[in-house]
Amino acid sequence: MAFYFEEPSRTFSEYLLVPGYSSDQCVPAATDLSTPLVKFRKGETCPLKMNVPLVSAIMQSVSDDKMAIALAKEGGVSFIYGSQTVADQAEMVRRVKAYKAGFVTSDSNLRPDQTLGDVLALKELTGHSTVAITADGTAHGKLLGIVTGRDYRVSRMSPGDKISGFMTPIEKLVTAPEGTTLKAANDIIWDHKLNSLPIVDSRGGLVSFVFRKDYSSHKKHPLELLDDHKRYVVGAGINTRDYEERVPALIEAGADVLCIDSSEGYSAWQANTIAFIREKYGESVKVGAGNVVDREGFRFLADAGADFVKIGIGGGSICITRETKGIGRGQATAVIEVAAARDEYFKETGVYVPICSDGGIVHDYHITLALAMGADFCMLGRYFSRFDESPTNKVLVGGSYMKEYWGEGSARARNWQRYDMGGAAKLSFVEGVDCYVPYAGSIHDNLPVTLSKIRSTMCNCGALTIRELQEKAKLTLVSSVSIVEGGAHDVLLKDQTTQG
């Protein structure tokens, strides 16, 4: 006979936090949002922590190298999507790891015999105004000069003008030799009032650039998440099909943490994938697994050796798994049960396996609820897809700017590996949709507001850390009418566009 759960599965919107005592020390500025990303033993320090409890989803429409850099600046981690070639994904990881060292490999390179039209086209493609002019037009060719916006005026020049006629030649550039430290490079930039400093090798080949804006960026992002070599931390998604090829390539490229991307993680395929990683790399390679929605699923993946476990089936805004297959569970109920299993596992084994709530986040306060219910961090897709840094197009729809957003189980993504159950190499049916989300600007203009809400709610509960929030939180179920009561009601709202 089938097993029936006695209680219905519930969503985050069915709960509210009840305030606790707040001391005069409990102010948002004193809160600590750091959280473990991977497992660790009792009494030991977690080898990889985040400064904020947020990671971006393993999706084509969310997490590429640009998002990874932007989120690492804010203290979180992006998992670069795996539904692309191994070489392309590894190259994205390399770009992230090369970025923060301060020595940036140039991705805007042309030859001197090319034209102003080529400069403008490249600027449109990359968004970068500094173009390296090398003998062969590659990132490490012999440096002959650079072109910036100060070297040309579109209104007074022809698109056919040769770059050699208006570039700033190498003789007029301030450069630094390979081996120059980042501190010394920044000193040169400030002493000579430069925007960029080319680093060249003994043969005159371009090695990298150091940019003034990166120094300023560091000062604006006090929570940025860096590895031991002062590079941004980056994650990458893998699947249970080509892991023998993909994992070594991602590790060689510098990925700090991996995550098996699957709609359902309670399977032999995930255990086999983790076993391969442990046999080849031991515990040095960190890999998360999932997704699961109950105690049994968590125990299976924890015993298999997962470094963290993701929770959630069918709760994503673009996911229709529950509609198409009838599989899933309310996200709040899933988090509560798996969190209890995580604590039980820690008590039994002395190993703390962090859990990630993936999906079901509609409002910012849902993140705080997920943390209070026991999640160590949350994975978000729709939230991050709205920002400039996501890899999708910004389009005008009905007079409003939107960003494209699609699920990995959609016909557009065709990520059959995520939904693979040992069958054919194709999507038999879709489990995701292709849609738009309202454009929201840059991640730096939005994420601090979300984090401010989390900090404020933590203080309302008398907590200064996520662990303290989980210990002190008091949660109450809400009725349908109390949900109505919680919003603006019984008033006539002013038109927001006309208010000063």
Query: Could you give the residue numbers annotated as active site?
Result: 319, 418
In the numeric block, the tokens 């750091």 are attached to 34
Please spell the DSSP secondary structure of 210-266, one letter per residue. EEHHHHHHHHH-TT--B-TTS-B--EEEE-SSSHHHHHHHHHHHT-SEEEE--S---
CA–CA dist 412, 241 (Å, integer): 20
CA–CA dist 483, 14 (Å, integer): 8
Question: Nearest-CA neighbor of 315 among 375, 400, 394?
Answer: 375
Q: How many residues does the chain have?
A: 500
79: Cβ contacts below 8 Å, ≥ 6 apart? 55, 56, 57, 58, 63, 235, 236, 237, 257, 259, 261, 379
End-to-end CA distance of the chain: 63
CA–CA dist 285, 269 (Å, integer): 18
CA–CA dist 431, 156 (Å, integer): 53
